[in-house]
Amino acid sequence: MATSDDATTDVPGPAPGKPRAAEPDSLDLFRTAFRRQPAGLAIISANSPEGPVGILSSSVASVGIDPPALSFTISTLSANAQAVRHAPTMVVHLLDAGDLALAQVFAPPGSTRFGPDMQWDRLPSGEPFLTDVATRMHCRAIGHMEVGESVIVAAEVIDVAHSDSHALPLVYTNRAFHVFHEVPIR
């Protein structure tokens, strides 16, 4: 898949050995249409029976403020994603350019994510989080919607930790990581 083995928002490739669900031409157009759509990047971490898990996601979006909530989409095809899908709570980290190395750790399928070199800790409530990311949100899942082999998760934001890092946002588009240079237009 595009940004991770688990996060599916960037038009993942077909599952191995599975027939495509629609006309190839139509699917190719769908992929092409979304390929250049820029998206901010996040890492979502949670506890699982096997220990801390985390996925890279380009689908985290604000949903509303009453309650403060966000959404993200995960595949149901990988073990990491399955663990996040079943976690009652999680930590959503919004990534900036200073977090590129973290994004690169979480991107490859099957990579070691909470190894000895990872800077992480646990919230008082137990969830694992990445200590070097400037913005993180402690969340509680409040809804799931299955769409084929993906699931859209709605999560209430319980608590926000945010330090003003002044770093530029990290963006995924056109199958690569980018730094987003903010040049407003009128």
Question: Which of positions 47-76 make contact with its own copies (CB under 8 A)?
Answer: 58-71, 73, 75
Does residue 108 bind its own copies (CB under 8 A)? no
What does the alpha-carbon distance between residue 142 and residue 140 come to, in Å, rounded to a whole number? 6
x/- letters, 162..181, toward its own copies (CB under 8 A): x------x-x-xx-xxxxxx
Identity of residue 65: I
Does residue 160 bind its own copies (CB under 8 A)? yes
Does residue 127 bind its own copies (CB under 8 A)? no
| Structure token pair of residue 80 | 């990491």
From 8-16, 47-55, 79-87, 124-132, give the range in contact with its own copies by CB under 8 A: 8-16
CA 82 to chain centre: 13
Interacting residues of 96 by C-beta distance below 8 A, sequence separation 6+: 134, 135, 165, 167, 168, 169, 170
From 19-27, 105-113, 115-123, 124-132, give the range in contact with its own copies by CB under 8 A: 19-27
